[in-house]
């Protein structure tokens, strides 16, 4: 028996979970402030759905967790939250549009584990279903931008492109049949570099290297009548209204096949790669149901976002209610209950430790405050409160303790 976690997974210790919970709380609050509604879908879906052309495709089997249940049905763990959402919309076409949903949940991909990349990871998605306007795309970017600002990130970069422009570039070189291979190579250019990317494109077709010339020349050199250019211009104008600074990038591809229009990625530096990304996928819902429906969304990678954020322990108001004598347990619980009702995290001993052992516990878990409950404190209703960071103590009544810790 091995006692290690499966490859590509990890245990999330309390310190990491505290940070992660704070991130998720801010994400949820921000998404809801824009009017996005919560939705949950199953962790696994039918293989037929996930392998549908326009979603994952047959090749996705090598990249996800595929299995058969006891009845022989082909199933797979979801590899993103977008395809399940599209299935939900296709089977519930009566939902009023635009439908704005958010979902926070785990997904699974059978990738090669590396820094910032796991086989089990968590995403926080927003999507707008039923609007073909670039205003919907801009709102998705703006909501995620607000999340990052609320978390204290300042120097993140928002890159945008449009799949229609990329498709037009490929078409102009008569390379439509090799588009998937070309996109796969371009998608890795940020890590591989321009020289290696150029060499890989040469292997596909000698004309494919001309795409690098177009990328280097930038949008200014492209024909303004090229398909997708008008959408990109509209997106940039819409983002300006939100006060967003965005960077057009012809090399931006996004790996999944279902993107059809705008695509965007947000990076925060530190060698961790993108922390959020998404785009328009106008054809996906139509391939699953009977009705073509425009859609756009963006996803935050919570694992990567957590990796770039420092622990947020400053300002924690957790307090330990220390029991000086065992016969004072009822008094300790009474005070702890009052503090909890006031929204304060109040911890008390549950294993009959002596006072010294209780303080060892406080230090082990870096609890910043201790309230001592002894006979004198119970009698006078004034408690000794110690700041564990500074060692300073003061005698306070319940009202002042609440004011200090709230």
pLDDT digit string, tens, across residues 180-230:
888 889 888 878 888 899 899 989 888 888 888 888 888 888 888 889 999
Annotated domain spans of the chain: 14-308, 319-405
Per-residue pLDDT for 380 more than 80?
yes
Bridge pairing between strands 295-301 and 274-280: antiparallel
pLDDT, position 56: 60
User: What average pLDDT score do residues 26-52 get?
Assistant: 96
| The model's pTM | 0.87
User: What average pLDDT score do residues 223-251 get?
Assistant: 92
pLDDT, position 179: 86
Residue partners of 294: CB distance under 8 A and separation at least 6: 129, 130, 131, 132, 280, 282
Confidence of residue 23 (pLDDT cuts 50, 70, 90): very high
pLDDT, position 3: 87
Percent of the chain residues past pLDDT 70, beyond the cut: 95
Per-residue pLDDT for 256 more than 90?
no
From CA 73, how far away is CA 70, in angstroms rounded? 7
**Tokens standing for residue 277:** 């990304």
pLDDT, position 258: 86
DSSP string, 266-303: EE-STT--EEEEEEE-TTHHHHHSSS---EEEEEEEHH
From CA 207, how far away is CA 158, in angstroms rounded? 30
Range with the lowest mean pLDDT among 95-104, 149-158, 186-195, 390-399? 186-195
pLDDT, position 114: 73
pLDDT, position 314: 43
Could you read off the pLDDT of 326-370 as tens digits, one per residue?
899 999 999 999 999 999 999 999 998 999 999 999 999 999 999
pLDDT, position 313: 47
Collapsed DSSP state (helix, strand, coil) of residue 3: coil
Secondary structure element (H or E) that encloses residue 328, with its range: none
Diameter of the chain measured on Cα atoms: 89
pLDDT, position 154: 84
Confidence of residue 311 (pLDDT cuts 50, 70, 90): low
Secondary structure element (H or E) that encloses residue 348, with its range: strand 346-348
Collapsed DSSP state (helix, strand, coil) of residue 396: strand
User: What average pLDDT score do residues 282-292 get?
Assistant: 91
pLDDT, position 238: 97
pLDDT, position 55: 63
pLDDT, position 59: 65
Bridge pairing between strands 295-301 and 319-323: unpaired
Higher-pLDDT residue of 28, 192? 28
pLDDT, position 368: 94
Does domain 319-405 fall under CATH 1.10.150.310? My reply is no
The CATH class for the domain spanning 14-308 reads: alpha beta
Helix ranges restricted to H, 114-162: 134-150
pLDDT, position 60: 74
State the chain's mean pLDDT as an integer: 91
User: What average pLDDT score do residues 248-275 get?
Assistant: 85
Contact 208, 175 (CB under 8 A): yes
């Amino acid at each position: 028996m091995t006692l290690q976690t499966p490859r590509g997974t990890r245990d999330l210790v309390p310190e990491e979970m505290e940070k992660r919970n704070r991130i998720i709380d801010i994400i949820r609050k921000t998404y809801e402030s824009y009017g996005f509604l919560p939705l949950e879908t199953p962790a696994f879906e039918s293989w037929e759905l996930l392998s549908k052309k326009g979603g994952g495709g047959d090749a996705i089997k090598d990249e996800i967790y595929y299995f058969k249940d006891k009845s022989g049905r082909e199933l797979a763990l979801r590899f993103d939250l977008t395809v399940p959402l599209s299935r939900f919309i296709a089977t519930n076409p009566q939902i009023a549009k635009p439908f704005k949903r958010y979902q926070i949940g785990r997904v699974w991909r059978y990738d090669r584990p590396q820094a910032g990349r796991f086989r089990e990871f968590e995403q926080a998605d927003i999507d707008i279903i039923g609007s073909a306007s670039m205003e919907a795309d801009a709102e998705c970017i703006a909501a995620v931008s607000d999340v990052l600002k609320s978390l204290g990130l300042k120097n993140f970069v928002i890159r945008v492109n449009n799949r229609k422009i990329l498709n037009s570039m490929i078409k102009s070189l008569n390379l439509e049949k090799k588009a998937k291979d070309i996109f796969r190579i371009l998608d890795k250019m940020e890590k591989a570099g321009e020289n290696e990317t150029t060499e890989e494109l040469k292997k596909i077709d000698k004309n494919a290297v001309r795409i690098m010339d177009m990328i280097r020349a930038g949008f200014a050199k492209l024909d303004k009548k090229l398909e997708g250019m008008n959408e990109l211009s509209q997106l940039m104008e819409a983002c300006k209204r939100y006060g967003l600074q965005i960077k057009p990038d012809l090399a931006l591809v996004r790996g999944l096949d279902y993107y059809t229009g705008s695509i965007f990625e947000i990076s925060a530096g530190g060698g961790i790669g993108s922390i959020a990304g998404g785009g328009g996928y106008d054809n996906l819902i139509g391939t699953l149901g009977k009705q073509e429906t425009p859609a756009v969304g963006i996803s935050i990678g919570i694992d990567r976002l957590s990796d770039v954020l420092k622990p947020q322990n400053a300002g924690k108001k957790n307090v330990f209610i220390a029991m000086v004598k065992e016969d004072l347990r009822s008094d300790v619980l009474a005070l702890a209950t009052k503090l909890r009702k006031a929204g304060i995290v109040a911890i008390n001993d549950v294993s009959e430790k002596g006072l010294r052992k209780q303080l060892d516990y406080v230090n082990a878990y870096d609890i910043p405050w201790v309230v001592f409950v002894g006979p004198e404190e119970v009698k006078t209703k004034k408690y000794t409160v110690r700041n564990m960071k500074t060692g300073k103590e003061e005698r306070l009544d319940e009202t002042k303790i609440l004011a200090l810790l709230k």
